[in-house]
Amino acid sequence: MRISIILLIFMLFGCTNNQTQTSYWSDKKSQINISKILDQENKTAQTDLHSSVLNGNVLLFGHFPQNYSTDSLIFKLKSLPNIKQVFDNSTQGRPLSFQQISNDNYLVLKINTSLLADGFISNNTLNFSAYDSTVFLIGTVSQNKRKQIIDSIQKVSGINKIVTFFNKD
């Protein structure tokens, strides 16, 4: 039983990967720096912005209030070390309620389960997040794998939209 659990953990978090360890840790450091900036922005400008980072590419999503522009925020993010580009998919709107956040967390769990059931093991070539029932995918995968991943995610109930930002593998 313990061995099964350990194997499952390795499968979920990836034993082998296409992303180099240097790139992986660079992304983790970038995510920490971005989170600090977004936390400050969320407090001062009353935004509800989030991010995902993969191979130096940043996906920005969430809501911001009326009369707010993400231009200066994107400039800050692009000026961070190891950031190649920023995909801004944020929109004007109110912060999510606790119920909406809970639904998104449950959606992520269902997506993980679907991907695992369909044989997609995390190999650090794909990040995904859910916000307001929209699933955001960022990754570096082949065209064939991309279609398989999207097909697997589309099986999950409760998704309003899937937004993808893929680089070619």
CATH at residue 67: 3.30.1340.30
pLDDT at res. 140: 84
Q: What is the DSSP letter of 54?
A: E
* Beta carbons within 8 Å of 7's beta carbon, 6+ residues apart: none
pLDDT at res. 10: 43
- How many structural domains does the chain have? 1
Percent of all residues in the chain with a pLDDT value above 70, rounded to a whole number: 85
Instruction: Measure Cα distances from 36 to 77, 119, 120, 140, 151 in Å.
Output: 11, 35, 31, 26, 34
State which residues form the domain around 149: 1-169
Sorting pLDDT into bands at 50, 70 and 90, what band is 169? low
pTM for the full predicted model: 0.81
> Which pLDDT tens digit goes with each residue over 67-126?
999 999 999 999 999 999 999 999 999 999 999 999 999 999 999 999 999 888 766 688
pLDDT at res. 122: 63
pLDDT at res. 17: 45
pLDDT at res. 16: 42
Q: Is 164 left (phi over 0), alpha (psi -120 to 50) or beta?
A: beta
